[in-house]
Amino acid sequence: MGNGSARPSGAPGARSVLLAVPSGFCAGVSRAVETVERALARHGAPVYVRRQIVHNRQVVERLRRAGAVFVAEVDEVPAGAVLVLSAHGVAPGVREATADRGLRVIDATCPLVTKVHREARRYAELGYDILLIGDPDHDEVIGTAGVAPGRTHIVDGFEAARVLDVPDPGRLVWLAQTTLTVDETERVAAELRKRFPGLVDPPSDDICYAAQNRQAGAKHLAGASDLVLVVGSANSHNSCRLVEVARACGTPAHLVDDPAAIEDGWLHDAVAVVGVTAGASAPAESIGAVITELAARGYRDVRTVEVAREGQHFSLPREPAETRP
Ligand code: SF4
């Protein structure tokens, strides 16, 4: 058990589950998934989606069965078809490519990613170079970097911050991928500030509320559980960060996409309390399936711990102007 909160009381020897609230879908993911469902209902299959609409295997498989066709790039989409852009956002060049092909675009980019794009555009116009902390292979970072490609330097962690070279150290701002961990991002930003004393901070917090709340939950679980399970897919950036947060507190933690991923060896006799949380792209059904599996393995008592209240809701994106004849 890691440091922090005390383990919840219970009968000696009783096995229990502690479920973090909030867990699972955030407002941006709910909006993106509903956008594809609505597009299928309105326009009929196939509806094309660029990249995974959200990084979750079960969600993508369900939408594929309903008629969504996932593509890597715009040139795979037939001219005139309906295309949904994923929650992670795209570079302006991708939008231009959709216009060139006459695609009917529905943009499911999370408004909190769009906010970071606006920040990047504004600072680039003011003549700043942008130090973008994030994973260079992640769709979101590729999209944000594409807003001002000549002015953006991706900083992939502390070591990258230590050796970064920039043409004009006097006009720099740092921005961040929305799903990073708060603690590690501050460590990287502190190194950047040390190296570039004039560095400007982001005008508002780039790490989104959902990532921050789920990280707070993972920390709490790590302090109150013998093992933490994070429900989410391996390519879900924010889910992987939750595993890191729990492990950094000294508690064993694993990512599980579904109940079959739970290994017998993890649930040994010394594990009385299993903490469960889920990344922002993990659907409620996956969380429920993991809880059901834990009950079958003797962890029947489920308690919740609320670390934050989330009332965020984003309205659905606009439909394309033209409709299919
Ligand atoms: Fe938006 Fe945050 Fe959800 Fe990503 S994790 S879709 S930035 S609310």
Among 77, 110, 143, the domain-final residue is 110
250 and 167 both lie in a single domain: no
Task: Report how far residue 285's alpha carbon sits from residue 283's, in angstroms, rounded to the nearest whole number.
Answer: 5
State percent of the chain over pLDDT 70: 94
Which of 29, 138, 215 to mutate for ligand 1's pocket (most ligand atoms within 8 Å of CB)?
A: 29
Ramachandran region, residue 44 (left: φ > 0; alpha: ψ -120 to 50; beta: rest) = left
60 and 121 both lie in a single domain: no
251 and 285 both lie in a single domain: yes
286 and 225 both lie in a single domain: yes
Judge whether residue 9 has pLDDT over 60: no
**Minimum CA distance residue for ligand 1 atom 4:** 28
| pTM for the structure as a whole | 0.94
What string of H, E and C letters represents the secondary structure of 168-186? CCCCEEEEECCCCCHHHHH
246 and 159 both lie in a single domain: no
pLDDT tens-place string over residues 91-147:
999 999 999 999 999 999 999 999 999 999 999 999 999 999 999 999 999 999 999
According to the model, what pLDDT value does residue 14 have?
86
Among 67, 93, 110, the domain-final residue is 110
Is residue 179 one of the residues assigned to a domain?
yes
- Please tell me the distance between residue 23's alpha carbon and the centre of ligand 1 in angstroms: 13
- Please tell me the distance between residue 26's alpha carbon and the centre of ligand 1 in angstroms: 6
Active-site residue 140, yes or no? yes
220 and 302 both lie in a single domain: yes
**Minimum CA distance residue for ligand 1 atom 3:** 28
275 and 249 both lie in a single domain: yes
Is residue 140 one of the residues assigned to a domain?
yes
| Residue 5 CB coordination number (10 Å) | 16
What does each C-alpha distance from 96 to 100, 163, 166, 286 come to in angstroms? 6, 35, 29, 37
pLDDT tens-place string over residues 19-64:
999 999 999 999 999 999 999 999 999 999 999 999 999 999 999 9
Give the domain range for residue 274: 13-25+208-306
| Residue 93 CB coordination number (10 Å) | 12
> Which CATH number fits the domain that encloses residue 135?
3.40.1010.20
Task: Report how far residue 117's alpha carbon sits from residue 120's, in angstroms, rounded to the nearest whole number.
Answer: 5
According to the model, what pLDDT value does residue 319 have?
83
Is residue 148 one of the residues assigned to a domain?
yes
Task: Give the model's confidence band at 1: pLDDT under 50 very low, under 70 low, under 90 confident, else very high.
Answer: low
According to the model, what pLDDT value does residue 321 have?
63
What is the number of structural domains in the chain? Answer: 3
Single out the catalytic residue among 76, 140, 191, 285: 140
DSSP string, 231-245: ES-TT-HHHHHHHHH
Is the shortest distance between the CB of 224 and ligand 1 below 6 Å? no
Is the shortest distance between the CB of 179 and ligand 1 below 6 Å? yes
* Arithmetic mean of pLDDT over the chain: 94
Judge whether residue 6 has pLDDT over 90: no
Is the shortest distance between the CB of 176 and ligand 1 below 6 Å? no
Task: Give the model's confidence band at 4: pLDDT under 50 very low, under 70 low, under 90 confident, else very high.
Answer: very low
pLDDT tens-place string over residues 138-191:
999 999 999 999 999 999 999 999 999 999 999 999 999 999 999 999 999 999
Cis omega before residue 8 (within 30°)? Answer: no
Among 172, 195, 218, the domain-final residue is 195
Smallest Cα–Cα separation from 73: which of 88, 85, 61?
85
80 and 122 both lie in a single domain: no
**Minimum CA distance residue for ligand 1 atom 8:** 28
Q: Give the containing element (helix H, strand E) for 198.
A: none
Residue 18, strand partner residues = 275, 303
167 and 227 both lie in a single domain: no
- Please tell me the distance between residue 14's alpha carbon and the centre of ligand 1 in angstroms: 36
Is the shortest distance between the CB of 280 and ligand 1 below 6 Å? yes
Is residue 313 one of the residues assigned to a domain?
no
96 and 124 both lie in a single domain: no
**Atom of ligand 1 at shortest distance to CA of 26?**
3
Q: Check: CB of residue 321 under 8 Å from CB of residue 240.
A: no
Is the shortest distance between the CB of 87 and ligand 1 below 6 Å? yes
